[in-house]
Amino acid sequence: MNLDLQGKVAVVTGGSRGIGLGIVQQLLAEGARVVNVNRSPPDAADAENPEWASRLLFVQGDLTDISVCERAVQQTIAAFGRLDILVNNAGVNDGAGLDAGPAAFVQSLQRNLIHYYAMAHHAAPHLRRSRGCIVNIGSKVCETGQGGTSGYAASKGGINGLTREWAVELAPAGVRVNAVLPAETWTPLYERCLAAMPDPQAARAAIEKLIPLEHRFTTIDELASMVVFLASGRSSHTTGQIIYVDGGYTHLDRKCTSDVSEFGAAAT
């Protein structure tokens, strides 16, 4: 399917690793020009196709410094003259729980939420001109809870709220705003976390058992494909939506992942 993204300009925060890198690569493959805002460039092993070099701009900066957000938008306009797509992706599940204290909670909001607002604030005038779109990357944690991660959970809940709020505010300008929420996605970070466990394969199998659809992790490509579709004109009348790309992990009945035959009719 041609997503009609040739010549469009997208800004992706946290585009050097994992899901963000997958989004950057798929946007480039669809012909878009992309600005990756990140503290560090992609690893050498993840170097982009040389043919993409003229359509890719790297803006280095730590998004907890909100001046980086304004600078990223300014450099985008200076380099490409327009802005059509904002993908707010950068963040980290930093484990700032109830015991961490208010200062750690505020710092978690800075890592995971404040820059979403700052990027949208500085991008909005340009998105209004281009009738562009915003795609926010959230997390199932805001729906399910996880324990020990108040800051991250609050941030991701805030992202859902801002997605709907911005969809209303920007609709008169023809700007669409949607969110994509992953659950258990197989990323290099997830792989490293499991590798530190006594039996990584058993740990992976235990998690996959809990995922109803095909009992496997979501791939980065599957997440990125949804993001790029929502960023394209092929979803031109979709806004204010919170879309879970998670193999049914978040919402489907637990009987999908358990042996409930012993309960007979009560299991249906």
Q: pLDDT tens across 13-24, in order?
A: 999 999 999 999
Of the candidate ranges 75-84, 181-190, 215-224, 244-253, the one whose mean pLDDT is the lowest = 181-190
Q: pLDDT tens across 113-156, in order?
A: 999 999 999 999 999 999 999 999 999 999 999 999 999 999 99
Fold of 9-185+219-245: Rossmann fold (3.40.50)
* Separation between Cα atoms, residue 140 and residue 142, nearest integer Å: 5
Is 152 marked active-site? yes
Tokens linked to 130: 């281009």
Q: Residues 116, 117, 152, 249: which is the catalytic one?
A: 152
- Per-residue confidence (pLDDT) for residue 193, from 0 to 100: 83
Residue 103 contacts residue 59 (beta carbons within 8 Å)? no
- Per-residue confidence (pLDDT) for residue 194, from 0 to 100: 85
The answer for residues whose C-beta is within 8 angstroms of residue 13's C-beta and 6 or more apart is 20, 37, 38, 63, 72, 87, 88, 89, 90, 115, 119
Q: pLDDT tens across 42-98, in order?
A: 875 555 678 888 999 999 999 999 999 999 999 999 999 999 999 999 999 999 999
Tokens linked to 165: 């709020």
